[in-house]
Structure 1
Amino acid sequence: MPDVETKTLLTQIFGVKSHPMRKFQRLLYWFPRFKHVNPYPVPQPLPSDPVALAQLGLQRIANDLSCQVTVYQEPRSYLGPDALEIRLPHIVGIQSPDQRELLARHDCRRPVFVEGPFPLWLRRTCVQYYILRSDPAAKEGRTVDPERNFYYPLEMNFDLERDLGDDDELDVEEGNRDGERGVLWSRQVP
């Protein structure tokens, strides 16, 4: 957001009625209005609890509003056998109903990979997240109704019969001026 110092510099360098000064005034007009346009704002004081922060980040990256957040492990620490503190991290997950169905149908003989960490910035705080990924399964012998398939037609039936007025041969003769040789183009259309 431009400040008074920026305004002073622009006025001294370019003048009051200059193009950069008009840009500055437009920024002062529009920036405060755009500040509250986001339909999913990040809360101004971010939660200090790491689990609540992880839940907020996961809800922001999920593209399905029916996703359910699950806390699998709370952050905790305990003293180990050699009197050292052992810290266990928190594990928070989010799944949509479609993802749950895909995991339920997943063949347990095929591996599932954990990829990450990927950064997610919430204001000035970086949250790391991981994703589960599996190789695509082989297509089963499902038949798709051609009328319900929007991605590509299964059959294309075009009537490509020729009309009586169609010219099967195209001849173009150029030149023949002052004894020049003519150029004859011929094209056969099936």
Structure 2
Amino acid sequence: MKKIIAILLALATILSLSACKVNKNNGESEPYDANDYQANLNKIEEEQSKKAAKEAEKASEVNAEIDEYIEKVGKTNPKTQIVVKSNYALGRKYLKFEFNKKGEFENHFVYYFFDTYENYRAVYESEKNRDSVTVVDHDKDTQMVVVRLDEYPESTYDEVYKIYSSEATIGLGFTLVE
């Protein structure tokens, strides 16, 4: 949408400025040459096309980095790890619960992948200033923040798995990644 508005503004500016062409020798106006107008229009369209291609390439690289990081988040493994994907209005969110070999709770991580830089920045700033939370990783290019919750519940693998595999929790937008 922003690109379309930028193109329309550029075209409006060209049209308003190109209604007449000033003769540099004596400052008088003369009719604007249609060939010059078309050449300028073609140049603007070419620049916009190159810019859009660069943005698409960068977005593709960022999405590949995010997918690679999500692979590192992992999947639910019996007795050692539970990974939950959550519906999140600002982007993607994953919860990762880690357990020792006895099934006792050890770590809880939250992985955020934001749709906009502004959302990334706002959550990063709020999370890094919270008590009981440690920001363990963040990246402004991929708009990702990973936090570890420092206060752990007294839970076991079976209890957490039961919560996130229940119909009520699934109905709230949580999905086990298996």
Q: Same fold (TM over 0.5)?
A: no
Looking at both structures, which has the greater relative contact order when contacts are Cα pairs under 8 Å and sequence separation is at least 6? 2
Structure with the bigger percentage of helix: 2
Coarse TM-score class (shorter-chain normalised): under 0.3
Q: TM-score, normalised by structure 2?
A: 0.26
TM-score by length of 1: 0.25
